[in-house]
Amino acid sequence: MSQDLVFKARPWTFDTMAIDEVLSGVYTEKFGILPTDQVADVGAMIGVFAVLAARQAYAGHVWAFEPHPDNFELLKENIRLNNLSNVTAVKAAVLDAPGITTMPVNLGIHTGAGMVGTGKMQVPAVTLDDSMSKLDFLKVDAEGSELKVLQGAARLLQGNVRIAMEVHPGMLGSVTDLLQSLGYTVESKPYMLVNHLLWAHR
């Protein structure tokens, strides 16, 4: 399926690595995406996972959240290039409460949000509970905001959500504890030197 997908990416950035990462199946290693799934892509960047998920959830819907304006424009363009009508792009960070948040940004090679940035910008923030009525599959790459993403999805997580997320340094214990307290089985492994990949399900 990935062979017929089209992506616009920026040269000399991590965009190409993000494409390779997602298409390698890193987020769907433990669970697949079903045709009728309602999917949240938190930290959608340029939309690689959102596009792939939308093809797989062809009778469902994907909500793609990306606060960085440059990434967001590419996210919309990649949705258009792949002729997808079942993706909603949301220009916002996902946290534990709605409002405005200050986001560090890397202005060089990464071109996205990051734990250590060379600049800052204010962006709108939303919660998953306010944004979606149902959630089946949750993918998160939120640059250190993983716990707040989950805290803002307390209602949705009462369902049987399949979760795949990249967990940044210092967050693994608190994320695992929260999910286990909600009755989720959690599995994780080291990833990208200092991060972890985490999967959870009921």
As a whole number of angstroms, the distance between CA 113 and CA 156 comes to: 25
Interstrand relation of 137-140 and 38-42 (parallel, antiparallel or unpaired): parallel
Q: 149 pLDDT band (50/70/90 cuts)?
A: very high
Check which CATH number belongs to the domain holding 53 and give it.
3.40.50.150
C-alpha dihedral sign at 154, 155, 156, 159: positive
As a whole number of angstroms, the distance between CA 25 and CA 151 comes to: 26
Decide if pLDDT at 37 tops 90: yes
pTM listed for this prediction: 0.93
Let me know: does 8 contact 71? Beta carbons within 8 Å.
no
Q: Which has more pLDDT, 193 or 39?
A: 39
* Segments forming the whole domain that contains residue 72: 2-201
Decide if pLDDT at 114 tops 90: no
Q: Taking residues 87-108, what's their average pLDDT?
A: 90
The total domain count for the chain is 1
3-state helix, strand, coil in the chain (%, to 5): 30, 30, 45
Q: pLDDT value at position 1?
A: 56
- Residue 54: closest CA among 90, 30, 87, 96: 87
Average pLDDT taken over every residue of the chain: 92
- Residue 6: closest CA among 81, 102, 84: 81
Let me know: does 23 contact 48? Beta carbons within 8 Å.
yes
Task: List the Cα angle 74/65/44 in 5-degree steps.
Answer: 55
For residue range 13-28, what is the model confidence (pLDDT) as tens digits? 889 999 999 999 999 9
Q: Which has more pLDDT, 144 or 40?
A: 40
Q: Return the amino acid letter for 5.
A: L
Rounded to a whole number, what is the distance in angstroms from the first to the last CA of the chain? 28
Structure tokens at 103: 């986001």
Q: pLDDT value at position 116?
A: 47
For residue range 154-200, what is the model confidence (pLDDT) as tens digits? 999 999 999 999 999 999 999 999 999 999 999 999 998 889 999 99
As a whole number of angstroms, the distance between CA 137 and CA 56 comes to: 12
